[in-house]
Amino acid sequence: MNAPTFLRKPQPAGSSTRRGLLSGSYDTHTPEILHVSCGPGVERAERNGWTALSLGRPWFRSTEYTELARREGVAIAWLAAFQRHGAQAPQYAAGDFAVVVFDASSNCVYLAVDRFSTRTLCYTHSNGAMHFADRADEVPNAPRELSSQSIFDYLHSHAIAGPQTIFAHVSRLPQGSTLVFRDGRANIEAYWQPNFHVSEKADFASLREQFLDLVKTAVARQTDGSDKTACFLSGGTDSSTVSGMLGRLRGDPADTYSIGFDAAGYDEMEYARIAARHFGTRHHEYYVTPEDLVAGIPHVAASFDQPFGNSSVLPSYYCCRKAHDDGFTRMLAGDGGDELFGGNSRYALQRLLGLYDILPAPMRTGLMEPLLLKTPVIGKLPLLRKAAGYVRLARMPMPDRLHSHNLLQRLGYSDVMEPDFLASINLAGPLEHQRATWSRAGNCGLINGMLAYDWKYTLADSDLPKVMGASQLAGVSIGFPLLDDDLLDFSARLPIQYKLKGFKLRWFFKEALREFLPPEIIVKKKHGFGLPFGVWIGRYAPLKDLALEALQGVARRGIIRPAFVADLTHKYLPEHPGYYGEMVWILMMLEHWLRAHVD
């Protein structure tokens, strides 16, 4: 069977309004640079037949390159590093960056991105030419054929995991990697991979002092040296730490921006106010409304280079836009604290499930599993039914069991998607991709393995593109102090029990900041910018109309079944708006992206 017709239609070579900062083409046959386009913030340098294009805010670990960057610019420092170290040059750099280096003498092109792929590079190559851009939809000369597999991956995971993109012939450079293009062939070399080297002796007082110094340095690195830097403030430990530290560095309280929702169970503005009062920040609040969603959804969906389904992108956008309208040019975000220091609730859950493997094998296979999984009466007894559910999950290997509650999987692939679309994809694709990522992390233990896994799927593929995309659309730049490379290295040295002490999340992080943060922030449960989208659909007719019309559009494209649209809107959504609203959201954002980039 064939994929839906619209997936095979030839597409225009990019969106009508260019949003990218960097693109170019290089022909190895000539050899020559065929085309380079540099937007604001891209630095270019040429010397002795070498050319470098630098995007982002890198800093160098080498005194030589640091001094060279200070005297002659970052691009010149990159040239020197690549001339000496080749594909491993980014080992000597840190921060957020995307860099392209042309070496005419050896007819070679290097592309590299930072450890979290905060800055992205996408590419295609054919007939001895390399074409690249920082956006997938702006790679020059790239065929615009859409990938049905990537659309499925998006529906499954709410984002498209690199190196795939929505375009069948465009790839995204993996985090911590360098691409070397020579003789018409592209080879990818990892210059960095997660490497945990836990210290045998852990002295809390000494580690606490190191940690606080590192946080202070990280925040200082991410400011722009003026009073035009503000902070996100959700009221959690991460954003509160960054906001408080920026004020301490300046000797003047920071400007902080918070988003609220007029919906029970979603609004956390009071915690943001607690942090603002504690640090004396100049606090700015904005309450996102259903009307904002109606106005913003098509605009935000179209702005991304491929479909993107993280629903907190809308609150992030309005937060950035409010700061921009107040005259700020840069914002600091708290992303990364959970993923470096063990703050996600699933870490505790997986530790609990991992205890099952400690039990003697005869007890597991000879007693518990036959009793709990094969005895029909168990399903009628609530306590034993829960025990059976625990055993079923605990028996699954990692990372498979992380997706036991996947929304698309629970709804049923054949019930959701059209047969022709299903026939064009590999249903096991997302899990195969995640198994390979899990395997690359090596034998580093359950918790550190989950951290490394989240550095890929939670940060590089979801949270960082969310904040970067929202901020670029709003016209401000973004810094992530808690993803500083020195903090990353510090996290890799921390004992596992400092990250998750028993079932206490991010124990060290909270204890180290106990005298810095207000006590209410230390003990609060994690929430973030959760969006009451499903709840608001039932209350605000224009939002419901926008969403349902988009669902019907996806169905007309041959991706999802019209019967599923009816079930989702008339059965599932009214029963559990918060839960099934997520499926409505990802389908709606897909449709609005397709309208902007395909239709």
| Model confidence band, residue 11 (pLDDT cutoffs 50, 70, 90) | very low
With a cut of 50, say whether residue 559 has pLDDT above it: yes
451: DSSP letter: H
pLDDT of residue 1: 44
142 in helix, strand or coil?
coil
pLDDT of residue 527: 57
Contacts of 335 (CB under 8 A, 6+ apart): 238, 459, 463, 464, 467, 480, 482, 483
| Model confidence band, residue 95 (pLDDT cutoffs 50, 70, 90) | very high
As a residue count, the chain comes to: 599
Strands 177-182 and 108-113: antiparallel
The whole-number average pLDDT for the span 496-508 is 95
Domain boundaries, the chain: 5-190, 204-342+463-523, 533-597
With a cut of 60, say whether residue 323 has pLDDT above it: yes
Residue 441 to residues 84, 404, 436, 452, 535, Cα–Cα distance (Å)? 29, 21, 9, 6, 39
Listing DSSP states for 267-329 in one string gives --HHHHHHHHHHHT-EEEEEEE-HHHHHHHHHHHHHHSSS----TTHHHHHHHHHHHHHTT--
pLDDT of residue 118: 97
| Least confident among 13-22, 98-107, 170-179, 571-580 | 13-22
Give the Cα separation of 248 and 223 in Å (integer): 13
With a cut of 90, say whether residue 469 has pLDDT above it: yes
pLDDT of residue 153: 97
With helix as H, strand as E and coil as C, how does 501-553 read?
ECCEECHHHHHHCCCCCCHHHHHCCCCCCCCCHHHHHCCCHHHHHHHHHHHHH
Tokens 């102090």 belong to 481
For residue 141, how many other CB atoms are within 10 A of its CB? 14
Listing DSSP states for 82-135 in one string gives HHHHGGGGGGGEEEEEEEEEEETTTTEEEEEE-TT-SS--EEEEETTEEEEESS
Fold type of domain 204-342+463-523: Rossmann fold (3.40.50)
pLDDT of residue 441: 85
| Model confidence band, residue 526 (pLDDT cutoffs 50, 70, 90) | low
The whole-number average pLDDT for the span 83-102 is 97
- pLDDT, mean over the chain: 92
Per-residue model confidence as pLDDT tens digits over 426-461? 999 999 999 999 998 888 999 999 999 999 999 999
Tokens 């019930």 belong to 415
| Model confidence band, residue 227 (pLDDT cutoffs 50, 70, 90) | confident
Strand partners, 57: 96
pLDDT of residue 131: 97
Report helix angle 148-157 to 429-440, nearest 10. Answer: 70
pLDDT of residue 379: 67
Give the Cα separation of 538 and 535 in Å (integer): 6
pLDDT of residue 217: 97
pLDDT of residue 14: 39
pLDDT of residue 9: 47
With a cut of 70, say whether residue 466 has pLDDT above it: yes
Fold type of domain 5-190: Glutamine Phosphoribosylpyrophosphate, subunit 1, domain 1 (3.60.20)
Model confidence, pTM = 0.93
Give the Cα separation of 61 and 224 in Å (integer): 20
Contact 147, 71 (CB under 8 A): no
The whole-number average pLDDT for the span 128-153 is 96
The whole-number average pLDDT for the span 502-507 is 95
Per-residue model confidence as pLDDT tens digits over 337-395? 999 999 999 999 999 999 999 999 999 998 888 888 888 777 677 888 888 889 999 99
Amino acid at 525: K
With a cut of 80, say whether residue 2 has pLDDT above it: no
pLDDT of residue 299: 96
Per-residue model confidence as pLDDT tens digits over 248-280? 999 999 999 999 998 877 888 999 999 999 999
* 357-393 per-residue burial string, b: 16 or more CB within 10 A, e: under 16: eeeeeeebeeebeeebeeeeeeeeeeeeeebbebbeb
Residue 597 to residues 16, 105, 158, Cα–Cα distance (Å)? 9, 39, 18
Percent of the chain with pLDDT over 90: 82
Tokens of 495: 């004992």
Contact 235, 271 (CB under 8 A): yes
Q: One fold for both 5-190 and 204-342+463-523?
A: no
Strand partners, 36: 24
